[in-house]
Amino acid sequence: MRKISVGWLEIGEKEKKAVNDVLDSGRISEGPVTAEFEKKWAEFIGTRYCLTTSSGTAALITVLTAFKHLYDLEKRPKVITSPLTYISDANAIVLSGLEPVFVDIDPETFCITPEAIENHLSQVADPEKYSILLPVDLIGYSVKIDEIKRIAQKYDLLVLEDAAEAHGTMYKGKCSGADAHAGIYSFYIAHNIQAGEMGAITTNDEKIFTLCKQLKANGRFCECTVCTRAKGVCPGLQSLPENEDFDPRFLHEVIGYNFKTMEFQPAIALAQMENIPYIIKRRQENIAALNKGLEEFADILQLPLHDENVSYLAYPLVIKNTSAISRKKLRKELEEHGVETRPLFGCIPTQQPAYEYMRKAYQGRIPHAEYAGANGFYIGCHQYLTDEDIAYTISIFKKILGETR
């Protein structure tokens, strides 16, 4: 039986060489390969700065913590975000001592809408308690970042765009994540560029970049990628009073985390980055082919919007409320035929046990997110799938859904 995986990573000769080069270099903790990746990712996204972290979740926590330090958010703990996303957005907000507030999504792009954000802010009694908008580019679909920025300006809010799933999505000429105060990315396995575990932060703001760089390294004072002390050019040493007896590597200005990566992950990511145009194009083609093949089931399934500016993470489907088949049954039968599936994350405040304490407050108030969370799922559209794999996937849908008619 064929296996149509949700994600895949072929460790080719290029990836093996990149990892072996790291081993041969004798330096496996963060160093020059990480710096090279950061430079290339900033260039790719189109921002002045990029910083790697150990994961996308770590990137979220780092930026939120930096915002708290830089903008004194003590009395403004509320962060508007998406209810339909991977749990780490809500977790990062809570773990940063902030408060997630969820607004509804667009049922076709699964992203929170400027209208929902603005409606919410215009109706609440305490708009002065809000400080951050954290929209998510789910599955690769872009949020309307220009309109979200307009609202942010009106209400004096910061914008952190979660582009974890949108590597290279374009919106009005800019890459996802580039047009916010900061953007974050995940390179978890199955993302378009994958490194096992790794995240990144992009920004054009030097203050945000510098503070994030410290926060991800336990608040460390010094900034060099590879220590320059032995060469006698350590900027940390030079900026301190002459007689001070200290080591900049062990001086910490803020309370931070250890969210550093290792050299292996950026090495693997760099090897794939050469193929980004192909990866995006091949996923686009697979989305188009699946849509064409499943067109006849548009009365049962909401097929994904095909947009040539989107860098797709996966192929998302939502079972329509008029359909005779349940998500559970369809997923089970697809899996039995080798087509892997994943639920569309779930609606965090009403369907995730960890957020049970919010359930009553949100039930019935974010209907699109609740519906997609309960009835949505995705399958793979990745670049390793062949035309035969796509044809096989379509044939399995036809077999299962044909029988339900």
Ligand X SMILES: Cc1ncc(COP(=O)(O)O)c(C=O)c1O
Closest CA to 139 of 84, 100, 184, 179: 84
Min dist CB 108 to ligand X, Å, is: 17
Q: Residue 95: exposed, middle, or buried by beta-carbon count in 10 A (0-12, 13-18, 19+)?
A: middle
In the complex, least distance from residue 304 CB atom to ligand X, rounded to whole angstroms:
16
Rule CB under 6 A: say whether 169 interacts with ligand X.
no
The CB-of-137 to ligand X minimum distance in angstroms stands at 7
How many residues make contact with ligand X (CB under 6 A)? 14
- 183 versus 248: smaller Cβ distance to ligand X: 183
- Bridging pattern class, strands 49-53 and 199-203: antiparallel
- Name the residue nearer to ligand X (CB basis): 136 or 157: 136
Q: What is the CA 357 to chain-centroid distance, rounded?
A: 25
**Choices 99-107, 157-165, 283-291, 301-309 (CB under 6 A): range interacting with ligand X:** 157-165
**Comparison of 261 and 284: residue with beta carbon closer to ligand X:** 261
Q: Nearer to ligand X by C-beta: 167 or 400?
A: 167
CA gap 259, 194 in Å, rounded: 18
Using CB under 6 A as the binding rule, whether residue 193 contacts ligand X is answered as: no
Q: Residue 153: how many CB atoms within 10 A of its CB?
A: 10
Total residue count of the chain as it appears in this document = 405
Task: Give the CA-trace dihedral at 202, 206, 211, 217, to 10 degrees.
Answer: 60
Q: Is 224 left (phi over 0), alpha (psi -120 to 50) or beta?
A: beta
Q: Number of C-alpha atoms within 13 angstroms, CB side, residue 344?
A: 31
- Helix, strand, coil shares, percent, the chain, to 5: 45, 15, 40
Distance of closest approach, residue 186 Cβ to ligand X, in angstroms: 3
In the list 162, 179, 333, 370, the residue contacting ligand X (rule: CB under 6 A) is: 162
Interface positions, 256-285, toward ligand X (CB under 6 A): none
Q: How far is the CB of 130 from ligand X (least distance, A)?
A: 21
How far apart, in whole angstroms, are the C-alpha atoms of residue 128 and residue 155? 8
Minimum distance from CB of 197 to ligand X (Å)? Answer: 6
Residue 316 lies near ligand X (rule: CB under 6 A): no
Nearer to ligand X by C-beta: 199 or 236? Answer: 199
Q: Is residue 192 within the footprint of ligand X (CB under 6 A)?
A: no
Residue 400 · residue 381 · CB < 8 Å: no
Alpha helices in 309-386 (DSSP H): 327-336, 348-351, 359-362, 367-375
Cβ proximity to ligand X, 325 vs 379, nearer residue: 379
**Which residue, 86 or 362, is less far from ligand X as judged by CB?**
86
Nearest Cα neighbor of 61 from 332, 258, 233, 241 is: 258
By beta-carbon proximity to ligand X, the closer residue of 312 and 397 is: 312
Contact range with ligand X by CB under 6 A, out of 14-22, 55-63, 217-225, 357-365: 55-63
- From 212, 80, 99, select the one nearest 143 (Cα to Cα): 80
136 touching ligand X, by CB under 6 A: yes
Minimum CB separation of residue 192 from ligand X in Å reads 11
List the one residue from 104, 161, 165, 333 that touches ligand X (CB under 6 A): 165
Cα–Cα distance list, 12 to 4, 224, 236 (Å)? 20, 32, 41
| Nearest approach, Cβ of residue 190 and ligand X (Å) | 8
Q: Which is nearer to ligand X, 33 or 314 (CB)?
A: 314
Cβ-based nearer residue to ligand X, 31 or 135: 135
Q: What does the buried/exposed string (b/e) look like for 197-209 if buried means 16 or more CB atoms within 10 Å of the residue's CB?
A: bbbbbbbbbeebb
- Determine, following the binding rule CB under 6 A, whether residue 55 of this chain makes contact with ligand X: yes
* Smallest gap from residue 136 Cβ to ligand X (A): 5
188 binds ligand X (CB under 6 A): yes
Cβ neighbours, 10 Å, residue 385: 24
d(CA 374, CA 29): 42
Residues 72-131 that bind ligand X (CB under 6 A): 85-86, 88-89
> Rule CB under 6 A: which residues touch ligand X?
55-57, 85-86, 88-89, 136, 162, 164-165, 186, 188, 199
